C-alpha cells in the first residue's frame, strides 16, 4: 500500500515537475520575445534620436541663416538711414524731391522695425532649439536606461535556461 502511494506521489511529482518546466519554458519564450520587442523599440528610438539630431542641425542652420539675414538687414537699415540723411540735405535746397525723401525715411524706419522683429524671432528660435536640445538629452538618458534594463533582463533570463 505504502509503495503504491509512494509510486503515485512520484508520478504526481513528475507531472508537477514537467508542468513547472513547461511554465518556465513558456516564460523564457515570452521573455525572449519581450526582449526582442524592447530591442526593436530601442533601435527605433535610436533612429528617432538620429532624426531629431538632424532636425536640430537644420534648426541651427536656420538660426545661423536668420542671424546673417538680420545682420544684413541691420546694415541695409543703417545704410538707408544714412542715405535718408543725405537726401534730406539735398531736399533742403530742392523742394521737388521733398516727398520722395520723406518716403525713403519712412521705409528706413520700417526696415529698422522689421530688423528688430527678425532679431526677436531669432531669439525665439534660439530658445526653442535650446529646449529641443534639452529634450534630446533627456530622451538620450531614458534610452540609455532602457538599453541597460534590456541587458539586465537578458542576463537574468539566461540564468533560468533549462
Any idea which residue has 538707408 for its cell?
80
pLDDT in the model for residue 146: 81
Can you give the residue ranges of every domain in the chain?
43-159
Digits of tens for pLDDT over the chain (162 positions)?
Answer: 678 888 888 888 889 889 998 998 888 899 888 888 889 988 888 888 898 889 889 988 988 988 888 888 888 878 877 877 776 676 566 655 455 556 767 777 777 777 777 777 778 878 887 887 787 788 788 888 888 888 887 877 778 765
Q: CA-to-CA distance for 84 and 106, rounded, in angstroms? A: 9
Q: How many residues in the chain?
A: 162
Report residue 105: phi and psi, to 5°: -65, -40
Contact 62, 125 (CB under 8 A): yes
Report residue 125: phi and psi, to 5°: -65, -40
The whole-model pTM stands at: 0.36
Amino acid at each position: 500500500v505504502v509503495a503504491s502511494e509512494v509510486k503515485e506521489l512520484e508520478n504526481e511529482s513528475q507531472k508537477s515537475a514537467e508542468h513547472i518546466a513547461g511554465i518556465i519554458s513558456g516564460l523564457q519564450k515570452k521573455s525572449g520575445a519581450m526582449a526582442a520587442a524592447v530591442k526593436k523599440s530601442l533601435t527605433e528610438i535610436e533612429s528617432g534620436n538620429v532624426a531629431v539630431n538632424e532636425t536640430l542641425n537644420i534648426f541651427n542652420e536656420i538660426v545661423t541663416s536668420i542671424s546673417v539675414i538680420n545682420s544684413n538687414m541691420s546694415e541695409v537699415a543703417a545704410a538707408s538711414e544714412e542715405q535718408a540723411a543725405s537726401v534730406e540735405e539735398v531736399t533742403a535746397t530742392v523742394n521737388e524731391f521733398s516727398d520722395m525723401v520723406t518716403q525713403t525715411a519712412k521705409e528706413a524706419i520700417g526696415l529698422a522695425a522689421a530688423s528688430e522683429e527678425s532679431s526677436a524671432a531669432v531669439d525665439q528660435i534660439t530658445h526653442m532649439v535650446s529646449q529641443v536640445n534639452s529634450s534630446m538629452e533627456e530622451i538620450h538618458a531614458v534610452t540609455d536606461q532602457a538599453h541597460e534594463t534590456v541587458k539586465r533582463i537578458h542576463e537574468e533570463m539566461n540564468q533560468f535556461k533549462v
